[in-house]
Amino acid sequence: MPYVVDFVNVSTEGLESSPVAPALAGLRANEARYFRNKYDHVFTVSTADEAPEALDWVTRILKDERDIVIASRPLEVTAFEVEGIRMAYVFYESGLSINAMYTIEDAGKRAVGFKLAEGMEVPEELSNFKFARQKSKLAGVIRGSYFVIKGEY
């Protein structure tokens, strides 16, 4: 059942099995606030079982572009389009959040972003990436990295 992420009253609903559930919930709320403020989009997530096409899309891009397979179990996903940009997010049990941003126009930006919830170690499959830190009122310290998508998806 889809869940609208509340960035005012942050909840760990759907993320309880994560060892860093409060930080992951803050990370998810941070994304919800961004999309509400920038695009007036309501950030709604579903379990990975309820929306397998979003998980499959992100998984395919990771595998095809960089031969990355995420070891952690996916908990929640969302996929939507705003202002000509196709977006998908996957929130993993480990505290990892992955988003794919794919501008529909040919000349647009296309990238995959990784964010690590506070308290999470860098997973082995992402050890080749350098992570920058940013502070968030909702999520504490977020470490993030990305790569540019070169293929067509």
Would the pLDDT of 111 be above 90? yes
Would the pLDDT of 73 be above 90? yes
Would the pLDDT of 74 be above 90? yes
Residue 106's pLDDT band, with cuts at 50, 70 and 90, is confident
What's the one-letter identity of residue 62? L
The number of residues making up the chain comes to: 153
Question: What is the chain's mean pLDDT, rounded?
Answer: 95
Would the pLDDT of 107 be above 90? no
Mean pLDDT (whole number) for 77-101: 97
Mean pLDDT (whole number) for 138-150: 94
Mean pLDDT (whole number) for 42-70: 97
Between CA 48 and CA 99 the distance in angstroms is 14
Report pLDDT for 22: 96
Would the pLDDT of 99 be above 90? yes
CA dihedral 19, 21, 22, 27 (to 10 degrees): 120
Mean pLDDT (whole number) for 26-36: 96
Environment class of 152 (CB within 10 Å of its CB; exposed 0-12, middle 13-18, buried 19+):
exposed
Report pLDDT for 25: 97
Among candidates 63, 62, 60, 31, which has minimal Cα distance to 45? 31
Would the pLDDT of 1 be above 90? no
